[in-house]
Structure 1
Amino acid sequence: MSESRAPRPLPPLPTSPPVPARGFLVAVLTGLALSALADLFSLFAGFRYRAVVDGDAGFLTASEEELDAAASLYDTAARCQMVVLVPCAIVFVVWFFRMRRATGALAPDRFRSGPGWAIGAWLIPLANLWLPYRVAFDMWGAATVLPSDGGLPRTRLWPLNLWWGLFVAGILFSRIAGSEVDDAGTLAEVRDGVARYMVSDALHLLAAATAAYFAVQLTAMQRYKAVYGPYGAPPAQEAPAPSS
């Protein structure tokens, strides 16, 4: 019998790196917007509480009804923050994990840990103040387009650093404020603790805004590099001049 001359099947063509759907980015931005609104509500409630405590004639003249109403509003604002925080955090971490997988396909050598750390890094007490930043730093570098001249990539890190700095500062101020309020023995000490919470709320609000900017920029960088390759789109060639 003669050997079959049927052509061998060609190997499959390499697929393009994955491009995450825009729906998850929209969900993340929506969650961050809701979180920022909850922080604004808490700031308003904090200002109202301090206005009642620091009335024109001093907090000792404030009626019990006014103090109770202000404290109730502030407690409601705190509950709203917690209700919004949980789903927003879940959506953000899921998006973070999906972006880790997507950027990992662009430059696997840029990562110091596996994709699972995009979730696990958030769950380790104390270490979650640093480990997620390392994952985000690696993702940012993997999504950065390489220079065509072969030099080192010029990476703008300020969106990442600004977001993470505000995020960590907000957490630290919140813990300090919580400790002061728990140990408060007088209304004046509670008032000072509320002031610390207001600083924390302002930092969290700014962190939400910068997190949204970071998410938009990282997604745009990943999509651009996935479509045009590691060196980006080639420069447009100048059209030849018409002959006379």
Structure 2
Amino acid sequence: MQLKATLALGALLMSGAAFAQTKAPEPDYALSYNVGAVTEYRYRGISQSGKNPALQFGADVAHKSGFYLGTWGSTISWIKDSSIPGVASAKGPLELDVYGGYKGAFNDLVSFDVGGLQYWYPGNSYKNITGENANTFELYGGVTVSVVTLKYSHSLTNLFGTPNSKGSGYLDLSATFDLGNGLSLVPHVGAQKIRNFDTYRDWSLTLAKDVNGLVISGALVGTDWKQHFDAPYLLPGSGSRDLAAPALVVGLKKNF
């Protein structure tokens, strides 16, 4: 009996070793993508869609070394809404972002992310309004310690068609709290310095629920634009709607 038990144990160990040896290796690349919609598209606190709903999508490719490439897009209206009736008109219904960079970690607690991001507005004619194209390029760098992330973005071009704004910067402080059961809470504060203009601040608080890759979110978003400049953020095409006023933004996104 002892001999049979020994042989059986040896066979089990050998089969386990063989299974471990044939286990599929970690893939060099990982592909992910998503599609979704929001009740309005807010960026750095300001509505990019005239406080109307927007469709959004994204795709990312990441290498196991830490390098990554990605793209993200959304419908927008701010370029068209900037048209001045009877004076100048502009078009550009889509924002398409292309980015790439490197993510790494110093240890289990501290990680970093550096890269570049091109904001591209295909076929836009925003220079009819300001004399500058809306396309913008930024370099960014961020450090995450536990659940807190500090990130800085610096424009190497004029910022979204604002004349003489090359060298503008955005500082972003956020945290991601895992509440369990697919729930997360993300508070955020940011400061956008527009060179040769001024600085405004934005904030948000986002609660999200992930159900097997389907993410439902609600975010309270706002800025100090009206308080800081003593005027609402208005565009000719958006009427009297303050595009920087506090609002609740609801989103639905599916991750694949």
- Please state which band the TM-score falls in when normalised by the shorter chain: under 0.3
Specify which structure has the higher proportion of strand: 2
TM-score by length of 2: 0.21
Specify which structure has the higher proportion of helix: 1
Q: Which has the higher contact order (CA 8 A, sep 6+)?
A: 1
TM-score by length of 1: 0.22
Question: Which protein has the larger Cα radius of gyration, Structure 1 or Structure 2?
Answer: 1
